[in-house]
Amino acid sequence: MVRAQKYTYDTLEERRKIYREKDRINHFKNYWKSNYKIIVPEDQIEFFKKNKSIIKASLPILQNLKEMEFVENTNQN
């Protein structure tokens, strides 16, 4: 029995390109999961790439940020 084709491609080169991209995404997700204990959804990968330094800098103070209580500004003119 032949297994169902997961991705559509016409040539071997296209297949390699698809699997290379999938590999790159999985590597990125595994990096963040193993090093920083963060599960990155595929739709937020670009956000993580753009803000990598900010995210890494905020991780040590993240617990303190979660415990902060913010007050809404009720003075509306």
pLDDT in tens, 17-69: 999 999 999 999 999 999 999 999 999 999 999 999 999 999 989 888 888 88
Q: What confidence score (pLDDT) does residue 65 get?
A: 84
Q: What confidence score (pLDDT) does residue 7 get?
A: 77
Q: What confidence score (pLDDT) does residue 32 get?
A: 95
CA dist., res. 21 & res. 7, Å (int): 12
- How many Cβ atoms sit within 10 Å of the Cβ of residue 51? 13
Chain-centroid distance, C-alpha 65: 21
Q: What confidence score (pLDDT) does residue 76 get?
A: 65
